[in-house]
Amino acid sequence: MPTLTQWPTLPDDVIDFFRSAFEDANRHVTERLLNVPNIRETSLDDALIDSLVPFSPARRLASGAVVAMDIHNIGGLRRLGGWETADISVIVFVYRHTQLIAQKIGMLQSKRLYPKNNDVADDDPIGFLYGMNAFLKRQPKSPLALLNRQFEFDDTCVYGAIKAEDRQVKSIAEMNKKLGQAVYYLFYNPPSMPQVIKNAGVERQQVTANDIGCRVYTENEVNAAIAGFEKGRSPTFSQISAAGTVSNWRLETWAADLLLKCQVGQIFDEADTEKITELLVRRTGPIGASIAVLIALPEEGPP
């Protein structure tokens, strides 16, 4: 029987189930970006988490494996004027019947693509502290000014929240040195480019073909894309894409075909518990949301 440092072979229908769940989340998040092109980055994180909830109840698959998800979203520390080493963690727990036999973690630091006009709604820490008062005491601006805005996306657009030599970039590199390659970048993009969105909100757009959407990159390849940049410069879509010779994975590929097959992320055991707890349990820790993937294998099956 595998130990906590060995990874078992998972049935194909387990991989298929979670690929379908994260593919739906990819479409859901991309559709939200398409309909609200200046949406806050944190709201896209929330959309990803919310779209996985219908897949979370326990169910038995044809292989006899039981799958479920436990989803917890406490919101990003960016809303308190801070930043995170990662926004979303995916922790996988594999059981043989009732005995825990393997566990691993992969973390995602999310960044959205900015339109060419860089018009993106940022989180306002002062407004957050005021709570509902921020809605009652609004600035005297009419919605007419918002009606005819146009948003354009192409491969020259930047991921405006990634800054060369930024403290967060350095912190992610330090975390990966401590835990191994556990933190990855998740990029929110439109379904295709070039993309021109006029009068967003007039008619709801649906994503039927999601050629780009949510993409995951290794920290090493993102760092390679911004190597040599002057401090504070942000990379473009084309610069990140060019650096992704190994990664540039679809979200569902990263979550199902790589994480669940132990090709990305880090296995952990009791010796790593303190480090993992510091990341996930403490409210001041650098994680905004956690997804626990729970898989119970039948008593008889491959190791």
Residue 273 has which token pair?
A: 């518990």
- CA-to-CA distance for 218 and 234, rounded, in angstroms? 17
Q: Which of 72, 67, 61 is nearest to 92 (CA)?
A: 67
What pTM was estimated for this model as a whole?
0.90
As to burial, measured by CB atoms within 10 angstroms (0-12 exposed, 13-18 middle, 19+ buried), residue 41 is buried
Q: For Cα atoms 83, 86, 92, give the angle at the middle one, nearest 5 degrees.
A: 155
Q: Helix or strand or coil: residue 288?
A: coil
As a whole number of angstroms, the distance between CA 141 and CA 275 comes to: 47
Q: For the segment 51-106, what is each residue's pLDDT rounded down to a tens digit? A: 999 999 999 999 999 999 999 987 655 444 445 678 999 999 999 999 999 999 99
Neighbours of 227 (CB within 10 A): 9
2: pLDDT confidence band, cut at 50, 70 and 90?
A: very low
Angle at 186 between CA 78 and CA 59, to 5 degrees: 100
Expressed in angstroms, the distance from the first to the final Cα of the chain is 6
Q: Between the CA of residue 211 and those of 30, 31, 113, what are the distances in Å?
A: 10, 12, 15
Q: How does DSSP assign 185-246, residue by residue?
A: EEEE--SSSSEEEESTTSS----S--SSSSEEEEHHHHHHHHTTPPTT---BHHHHHHH-SS
Measured distance CA(214)–CA(250) in Å, rounded: 6
Helix-, strand-, coil-residue percentages of the chain, each rounded to 5: 35, 20, 45
Q: How far apart are CA 101 and CA 33, in angstroms?
A: 39
pLDDT digits (tens, 9 = 90+) for 92-138: 999 999 999 999 999 999 999 999 999 898 755 555 555 555 556 66
User: What band does 1 get if pLDDT is binned at 50, 70 and 90?
Assistant: very low
Amino acid at 220: N
Domain boundaries, the chain: 12-134+146-297
pLDDT tens, residue by residue, 186-222: 999 999 999 999 876 678 889 999 999 999 999 999 9
Percentage with pLDDT > 70 across the chain:
81
Q: To 5 degrees, how large is the angle CA 21–CA 55–CA 275?
A: 80
- Cβ–Cβ contacts within 10 Å for residue 77, how many? 18
The structure tokens listed for 205 are 């757009």
Residue length of the chain: 303
Widest Cα–Cα separation across the chain = 67
